[in-house]
Structure 1
Amino acid sequence: MKQQFYLGEWQVDAASNTLSLGKTKRTIEPKAMDVLLLLCQQQGDVVSADDIVAQCWPNAPTGDNPVHKTITQLRKALDDKASAPLFIETIRKRGYRVIAPVQFVNDEQAQAAQANWHDASPFLGLSAYSPAESKVFFGRNALTRELITRISTQFKQHRPFTLVMGPSGSGKSSLVHAGLLPRLLDTKGTNGIRAYDYVSIDVADINLATNGFTNLLNELAASMLDWGNDEKGVFDGFSAQSLANALQNQPEEIINHVKKWFSEAVSGNNTGVNVPYPCFAIVIDRLEALLAHSAVSENEKQKIFTLLETLSESNAFLVLLVTRNDFYPLISTYAPLMKNKARGAHLDIAPPSLSELGQIIKLPAVAAGLEWEWDENSNASVDDIILADSAKEPNCLPLLQYTLQELYLQRQGNTLQLTTYRKLGGIEGAIGYKAEALFAALPKGVQHAFNAVMPLLVNLTDEGANLTSKSARWDELNTDAERDFVKQMVDNRLFVSYLNQGTASFRVAHEAVLRKWDRVQQWITQHQSALSNKSSLTRQTKLWLADGKSSAYLLTEGKPLINAVALNDMPHIRVSKDEQMLIKASTQKAKQKRYLKGLP
């Protein structure tokens, strides 16, 4: 008999008759625990009062109306209500059933064995997991439950607005997309919350350099147009442009449309069970790309965050912002992002424990029917060797996932081999090894394109203190060698090619490519000053254009102007036409000042 399990966010220990939720711990009677265990073992099925008596208290005196009293005790312990149940629902004249999700502690192994995953690699490498890959997403159940608990509390406070933060490569996006969203999108929902659809926007894929605020709003609006069911769309009658305008100027109109849809389509029971908190989810991924982008004004950023906050306060929208935690100084400057931090609105992702790492490594292989080679020298299988190596590497998830994907792609039959793992250089060397081996095999002319492509993908902010990746357009590549270089990187899964707002674009598959490939790090060190100067020039150009090319924002004579002029002479730093205009205007202004002073 299963003795430990989770009922929604509550951890249940049947052996000790206890329910735990954070620091809250409650003890119930053994008979009540027997009933709870029976209902949870038959999750979703209606269990009659007679069956409860027969299975929980056979041949024992029960007194008057024992089942009703026991259910009342359970509801009190769970902070549940018969009129608006989140955990135990009464089915009139039939019995009772559990409606919250139930997960027994040892279920992950069983779920992996039943997954029968044959679609593709069960290891996604540098790509984030999506809801479609939730069947092979393991090791983050505790974190997912914590996130659900916090969101449930925020709905009760009428502001489901959460920041999911962590270091680069900590699995933030995968947690939201493959851990949280599938549970919210389930027809039964979870903890009283059901998301009827969602939109996920990767900010790094949005063109923020020109009309960034408008482009982000248009992308959100275009995605929201798909919401609804077969009978009725949420925004029937809207175009993408009219919806974007309403989001910006009349968000309450959008909120009313969503609430009306819930009232008509959901309460009419066309789409499944009713839940206390029906919603649509808005996920803004890689928020740091917006926070750090100088082309979007502070006022425009504030408008975006205020809009998202307004939508969340209606309780019809769940807002999830995913961002790197090293951008916290920028996060802290915006009130909507800091509100309710002390009440759980910020979830900081910790590295996986040793047990969780074991699940991340082993269970996807179980799901895909893979085997691990045995090493007689160490008397260990390859998965245990990888687990031991992973435990030594803090924040190793992207490196680990990339290594596992390479082991899968180079497998022999269904066996993941030790020789392949050693050849890759283990966890630490896998990405750098693959990138450098690929680079060495390229023709010399294509290798030289490395210097031209890197500035399109690398962004240094805060005077070089922060490294981020950025997207680039294929039409920014000037030569066949540059295009061939990017194509080779895409074909080998180090870069990703995709359509960004109708424009063919590319980016690094993960920032670990930039951080763990020695050649890139050496290039950044060599060009750090130029990259930092380019970032400053881009920021100053934005201010100059925004103020109607005012002379107040021209580059001052001396180091700022000298650094900017020098960028024009650097073959691998690309200066835009607007930036060239600023340099030219600043140079002319400096010449005029020297002329007036009688200087040469």
Structure 2
Amino acid sequence: MSRDALVVGINTYDRLKCLNAPAADGEAIAQILQQYGEFRVTRLPAVKDKENQTIRIGKQTKVSLTQLEKAIVQLFKPDGKPPDTALLYFSGHGLRKNLGIQEGFLATSEVNPDAGNWGLSLQWLRRLLQESEVRQQIVILDCCYSGEVLNFAEADPGDRGKGRDRCFIAASRDFEVAFEEINSQHSVLTAALLKGLEPKQDRWVSNYTLVDLLNQEHHPFPQRPIFANSGEAINLTRKWNSSPVNSTVQVSAICPYKGLSYFDCTEADANLFYGRTALTDELLEKVRSGNFLAVLGASGSGKSSVVRAGLLYQLKLGRRLSGSDTWQFKIFRPGINPLQNLALAFVESEFSDIERASQLAKAEELIAKGAVGLGQLITAAQTQRIVLVVDQFEEAFTQCQDIKKRQQFFECMLGALQRDDNKLCLIITMRADFFGKCLEQEYSGLAKKIQEHLVTVTPMNREELETAILKPSEQVNLAVEPELVSQMIADVENSPGSLPLLQYTLTELWQQRTEERLTLTTYSKLGGVRGTLQTRAREVYESLSLKEQQATKRIFLELTQLGEGTEDTRRQVVQRDLVTSQHPEAVINRIIQRLADEKLVVTSTLSNQIAVVDVAHEALIRHWLLLRKWIEESRDILRQKRKIEAAAIEWRDRGKAKDYLLQGKRLREVEDFQKQQTENLRLSDLAAEFIQASVRQTRNNRFRSVGFFLIIPLVASVVLGIVIEKQIRISQLWQQVDAIKGKEYSRVRIQALEKLVQAGESLTNKDFSRANLSRANLSRADLSRADLSRADLSRANLSYANLGGANLSGANLGGANLGGANLGGANLGGANLSSANLGGANLSSAYPSDANPIGANLIIYLRGANLSDANLSDANLLGANLSSANLSGAKNLTPEEVKSAKNWDKAKYDKDFRAKLGLPPEPAK
């Protein structure tokens, strides 16, 4: 492995104050790199020591700008093969030019700012590093200057996640000067560097361990080194007098895999978290340069793990970003009441019950004020920065059914970001198929904010998957057959949601290991990646008694949130709410404990000491066939049950006010449902209380209503008549619409359908197959899961319509307006989208058949379609006809997908994307 270093130490200046430390600093660094780091060191300025015939850094020799530039180019962009590792160390003056545009410079001996000669530009260095092919880059800037400031950020290319390892260290923050140590020949930074680079034992000193020491050093000057690390650790120095110590600990009794659980922000989990280095670097860069980050991906793609064990853990260590180890980190999930859970995030868990209650009351009082109150909480925090993480952000849509509460939550969070001090950093993780929900309303600019600060979690490549399998096993001396690794990678590669299944299968393989070895034979017996989980879930279920099985079925149904135009997802439930007269607390607790031991559910405690239960991962909901069967059999009943229980919760939260009780037809329907409900779908105790209170209220009203109806005002009868007339009118419209089948066309029927949409009637699950709906105005219509196969929708207005999960196979959408429409999960197989407007549309997970719902080819005709600003995450345009299509600003589109399409070279693209495709610029008009 080739390792080159350029060490620069400039004492002598023509027009700036001459310095004493740089030459001594540079020589000491050069010697330690040669002795302990196996670096091939180039010194600048270099002189020959006549006494011992060695090369050292000259104390009085000048360095010109030309010399410095040539030496840096030779280090990072040499004529021949570049080194594997390149290190640049500079000690001398740093200058800041502030004439309209601020620029930083490394001062060479002849600098003369008055004559326009400032030295080596840090912006130039930044561009050079971006273009350099050196995989491991280290830049250390120990700049001593008189009242000027070094702009460290100008030298940092910042393009993280490119497969390169980088380390940047500078002497001080941007408002500080650097100092020489008292009673020492070295500067403050270099003295600390020499201490850190001196190896204490037979193992490597890396850029990360070096930063640990810099963080621990305390100096009498108002100076703090700043740094930024990305990628893997870079080995710098170590002792070579003996072979390295084997640091592997024999801990084979500890499973190195996580099953269905996410990797959390702990040392134990982070040490087993592999395969996401590039993505972690990208997230760190976003946090360094901004205050909002949206991490989106398919269910099971590892969003929570990379944010927790990757991003947050690295921030807590403080090795990647300067000072991040002093920040505060708060993580929560929205749940049913997002604002309350936000307040809970500011309650310290180590306090006593009384202190927590007091702290929660104050936090809730402030959060009730919205963005202003949250801003006050942020301002009061004794920290440079608060990182607020909203994990599983989709719960704001799936569990919080109160639109007003949801809107207040978004306003509070996004409004608090409007600060000048950048003290709040907001991070959200969300399933990609829920982005369409963010477009349904304005939501304080949420959708636009996500689009502008989006990082998509894509499937791991082969190398990353191999690392995720093998690296944890190495830590516990566990062997893995190469054939097993190859087969597992083949089974999950390019499958966005398979990481939990992979981890669960590895856990089961570890449980059944033979002689500390994972084998392909055992893997085959388990049923592979997709068979292991459902086999184990079935075995656990069948081992229970009949009564326990009934309770288990009810538990899993309660833990499932039904999708509305999206896939079903998990639902957090308070454990005590699972208790009924048929399933008492002892039974529920016993089953929950068993399921938790088997890693099928996860139990936790909120800050207010309330126990909650979760499905271990949504992979269980998607892949356990028995649970899928239960859900499909109970879907309609579950929806009714959830609506009743949501109304009961609203009644409770409103102080059980009479205005929130049921009455009339709705009450009769709920009573009928309560009588007919099955054992496994019994209403909660709160819902039963809610119904009883509603019945009592209705009876009381009957006694008071006799006199009232004797004097009922004429206006009331008029209003009632209007309501009845409206209901009759809607019924008549539905009768007309039901006749639209096959190739029949009637403008009257189309108008009836349009009026139903305007009246807010839902068209979900409706059958419009083969219908002629050409030019129909269906803007904002709810057509989720509707059957529109082979329908004629040419030139129809479907802007902002919800077509999530709809069957559009073979449909004619030529010239249709689909701007802002949600097509997430829609079946577009064979559809014609020629000249359609898809600007801002959500095409995430759109697919051609039920057999392959994610990442499948969209065999569609896109000639002349407008896909500007469309969200194409998980959608694959392989085979599509892109002749004359407008793809300007399309999100998550790759050159590979475009080049595989028909007539791709005739489509319209942004200038930058044309360059990526190798196309010449469009001719000027």
Q: TM-score range by the shorter chain?
A: 0.7 to 0.9
Number of equivalences:
510
Equivalence for 2:150:
83
1:541/1:442 CA distance change after superposition, 3 Å = closer
**Residue-by-residue CA offset, 1:239-274 (whole Å, 9 max, x unaligned):** 34324433443344333323xx35xxxxxxxxxxxx
For 2:348 and 2:498, locate their aligned partners in 1 and report how far apart those are by CA, in whole Å. Answer: 33
Shifted more, 165-174 versus 278-287: the winner is 278-287
- 1:549-560 → structure 2 map (5 Å cutoff): 549-550=658-659, 554=662, 557=665
> For the Cα contact (< 8 Å) 1:497–1:504, is it kept in 2?
yes
> For the Cα contact (< 8 Å) 1:198–1:281, is it kept in 2?
yes
Equivalence for 1:331:
438
Equivalence for 1:25:
none
SS of residue in 1 equivalent to 2:321: coil
1:224/1:452 CA distance change after superposition, 3 Å = closer
Equivalence for 2:359:
239
SS of residue in 2 equivalent to 1:462: coil
Q: Given the alignment of the two structures, is residue 497 of structure 1 paired with residue 578 of structure 2, yes or no? A: no
- 1:102-501 → structure 2 map (5 Å cutoff): 102-103=230-231, 118=251, 120-132=254-266, 133-154=269-290, 160-190=291-321, 196-204=327-335, 208=336, 212=337, 215-223=340-348, 239-249=359-369, 250-258=373-381, 261-262=382-383, 278-294=384-400, 297-314=402-419, 315-332=422-439, 333=441, 334-343=443-452, 345-373=453-481, 380-391=482-493, 393-462=495-564, 466-474=568-576, 476-477=578-579, 478-479=583-584, 480-500=586-606, 501=608
Aligned AA for 2:346? A
Aligned AA for 2:532? A
Aligned AA for 2:538? E
Equivalence for 2:631:
524
**Residue-by-residue CA offset, 1:67-101 (whole Å, 9 max, x unaligned):** 97376742576799953424451455548788220
**Residue-by-residue CA offset, 1:438-478 (whole Å, 9 max, x unaligned):** 22223334323323323432232539964433224157333
Equivalence for 2:34:
none
> For the Cα contact (< 8 Å) 1:152–1:191, is it kept in 2?
no
Equivalence for 1:509:
616
Aligned AA for 2:659? S
1:459/1:520 CA distance change after superposition, 3 Å = same
Unaligned runs of 5+ in 1: 5-27, 50-61, 108-112, 155-159, 227-234, 263-277, 374-379
> For the Cα contact (< 8 Å) 1:116–1:368, is it kept in 2?
yes
SS of residue in 2 equivalent to 1:405: helix
1:421/1:196 CA distance change after superposition, 3 Å = same
Aligned AA for 2:545? P
> For the Cα contact (< 8 Å) 2:294–2:427, is it kept in 1?
yes
For 1:451 and 1:463, locate their aligned partners in 2 and report how far apart those are by CA, in whole Å. Answer: 24
> For the Cα contact (< 8 Å) 2:343–2:367, is it kept in 1?
no
For 2:301 and 2:289, locate their aligned partners in 1 and report how far apart those are by CA, in whole Å. Answer: 24
For 1:144 and 1:308, locate their aligned partners in 2 and report how far apart those are by CA, in whole Å. Answer: 24
> For the Cα contact (< 8 Å) 1:457–1:472, is it kept in 2?
no
> For the Cα contact (< 8 Å) 1:457–1:471, is it kept in 2?
yes
1:32/1:406 CA distance change after superposition, 3 Å = same
Shifted more, 507-516 versus 238-247: the winner is 238-247
User: Whose relative contact order is higher, 1 or 2, with alpha carbons under 8 Å and at least 6 apart?
Assistant: 1
Structural RMSD (CA): 4.3
Aligned AA for 1:239? Q
Aligned AA for 1:171? G
Deviation at 1:130, TM superposition (A): 1.6
SS of residue in 2 equivalent to 1:127: coil
Equivalence for 1:13:
none
Aligned AA for 1:31? A
1:138/1:463 CA distance change after superposition, 3 Å = closer
Give the TM-score normalised by structure 1.
0.72
1:244/1:466 CA distance change after superposition, 3 Å = same
1:257/1:488 CA distance change after superposition, 3 Å = closer
SS of residue in 1 equivalent to 2:301: coil
Deviation at 1:33, TM superposition (A): 4.7
Look at both structures and tell me which one has the larger radius of gyration over its CA atoms.
Answer: 2
Aligned AA for 1:305? F
> For the Cα contact (< 8 Å) 1:544–1:554, is it kept in 2?
no
Deviation at 1:423, TM superposition (A): 2.0
Equivalence for 2:240:
none
Deviation at 1:520, TM superposition (A): 0.7
Deviation at 1:426, TM superposition (A): 0.5
1:82/1:512 CA distance change after superposition, 3 Å = same
Equivalence for 1:100:
228
Deviation at 1:403, TM superposition (A): 0.5
1:3/1:432 CA distance change after superposition, 3 Å = farther
SS of residue in 2 equivalent to 1:100: strand
**Residue-by-residue CA offset, 1:409-433 (whole Å, 9 max, x unaligned):** 2222321122321221100111101
SS of residue in 1 equivalent to 2:408: helix
**Residue-by-residue CA offset, 1:5-59 (whole Å, 9 max, x unaligned):** xxxxxxxxxxxxxxxxxxxxxxx9663255569999698x97657xxxxxxxxxx
> For the Cα contact (< 8 Å) 1:468–1:511, is it kept in 2?
yes
Shifted more, 116-125 versus 178-187: the winner is 116-125
> For the Cα contact (< 8 Å) 1:194–1:279, is it kept in 2?
no
Aligned AA for 1:144? T
For 2:359 and 2:698, locate their aligned partners in 1 and report how far apart those are by CA, in whole Å. Answer: 47
Equivalence for 2:765:
none
For 2:338 and 2:272, locate their aligned partners in 1 and report how far apart those are by CA, in whole Å. Answer: 36
SS of residue in 2 equivalent to 1:216: helix
> For the Cα contact (< 8 Å) 2:318–2:324, is it kept in 1?
no
SS of residue in 2 equivalent to 1:357: helix
For 1:174 and 1:117, locate their aligned partners in 2 and report how far apart those are by CA, in whole Å. Answer: 26
Aligned AA for 1:286? Q
Shifted more, 29-38 versus 513-522: the winner is 29-38
**Residue-by-residue CA offset, 1:255-298 (whole Å, 9 max, x unaligned):** 3323xx35xxxxxxxxxxxxxxx412111112222322246x33
Give the TM-score normalised by structure 2.
0.49
For 1:424 and 1:387, locate their aligned partners in 2 and report how far apart those are by CA, in whole Å. Answer: 16
For 1:358 and 1:309, locate their aligned partners in 2 and report how far apart those are by CA, in whole Å. Answer: 39
1:141/1:579 CA distance change after superposition, 3 Å = same
Deviation at 1:486, TM superposition (A): 2.5
For 2:455 and 2:545, locate their aligned partners in 1 and report how far apart those are by CA, in whole Å. Answer: 46
For 1:128 and 1:309, locate their aligned partners in 2 and report how far apart those are by CA, in whole Å. Answer: 27
1:308/1:507 CA distance change after superposition, 3 Å = same
Q: Given the alignment of the two structures, is residue 31 of structure 1 paired with residue 71 of structure 2, yes or no? A: yes
Deviation at 1:512, TM superposition (A): 1.5
For 2:566 and 2:293, locate their aligned partners in 1 and report how far apart those are by CA, in whole Å. Answer: 29
1:200/1:146 CA distance change after superposition, 3 Å = same
1:299/1:172 CA distance change after superposition, 3 Å = same
Deviation at 1:312, TM superposition (A): 3.3
1:311/1:29 CA distance change after superposition, 3 Å = same
For 2:247 and 2:109, locate their aligned partners in 1 and report how far apart those are by CA, in whole Å. Answer: 43
For 1:340 and 1:452, locate their aligned partners in 2 and report how far apart those are by CA, in whole Å. Answer: 39
For 1:512 and 1:421, locate their aligned partners in 2 and report how far apart those are by CA, in whole Å. Answer: 19
1:523/1:142 CA distance change after superposition, 3 Å = same
1:136/1:2 CA distance change after superposition, 3 Å = farther
